[in-house]
């Protein structure tokens, strides 16, 4: 069974640009959640999607958005990038919503210059 796939793995953007990150969950998993990981803040929850609906949202500004498609694949978008958005963005999938084991992808490392 293929794991969680995140693309791209690495990307460099400049301030003011926008970025879209993609996550393909494990087959059969309907819940996808996103986390931002930085050295100072640890893992911060961004949002969680289940059956194409956002079920929970963390404390991030509106520049961070996401969506989930009917095949459970998810994308997150960050607009008007700031230097502080540089981080490892991790996607995790699970079979059910907000419970049980999370399966993480390798992450997308975003550098904002």
Partner 1 sequence: SQQGEEDPQALSIQEGENATMNCSYKTSINNLQWYRQNSGRGLVHLILIRSNEREKHSGRLRVTLDTSKKSSSLLITASRAADTASYFCATDSTGNQFYFGTGTSLTVIP
Binding site for partner 1 (CB under 8 A): 4, 33, 35, 42-43, 45, 48, 56, 58, 88, 90, 92, 98-107, 109
Closest approach of partner 1 to the CB of residue 42, in Å:
4
Neighbours of 67 (CB within 10 A): 15
Instruction: Calculate the alpha carbon distances from 69 to 15, 50, 96 in Å.
Output: 28, 10, 16
Nearer to partner 1, 18 or 38 (CB): 38
In the structure encoding, which two tokens stand for residue 2, read together?
């293929």
Closest approach of partner 1 to the CB of residue 106, in Å:
5
Closest approach of partner 1 to the CB of residue 7, in Å:
13
Nearer to partner 1, 81 or 105 (CB): 105
Instruction: Calculate the alpha carbon distances from 105 to 3, 50, 78 in Å.
Output: 7, 17, 19
Nearer to partner 1, 45 or 86 (CB): 45
Residues 6+ apart with CB under 8 A from 3: 26, 103, 105
Nearer to partner 1, 81 or 87 (CB): 87
């Amino acid at each position: 069974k293929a794991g969680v796939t995140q693309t791209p793995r690495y990307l460099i953007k400049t301030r003011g640009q926008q970025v879209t990150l993609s996550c393909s969950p494990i087959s059969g998993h309907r819940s996808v959640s996103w986390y931002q990981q930085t050295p100072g803040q640890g893992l911060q929850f961004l949002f969680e999607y289940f059956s194409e609906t956002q079920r929970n949202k963390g404390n991030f500004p509106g520049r961070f958005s996401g969506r989930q498609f009917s095949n459970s694949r998810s994308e997150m978008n960050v607009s008007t990038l700031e230097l502080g958005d540089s981080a490892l963005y991790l996607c995790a999938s699970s079979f059910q919503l907000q419970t049980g084991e999370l399966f993480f992808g390798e992450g997308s490392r975003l550098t904002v210059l």
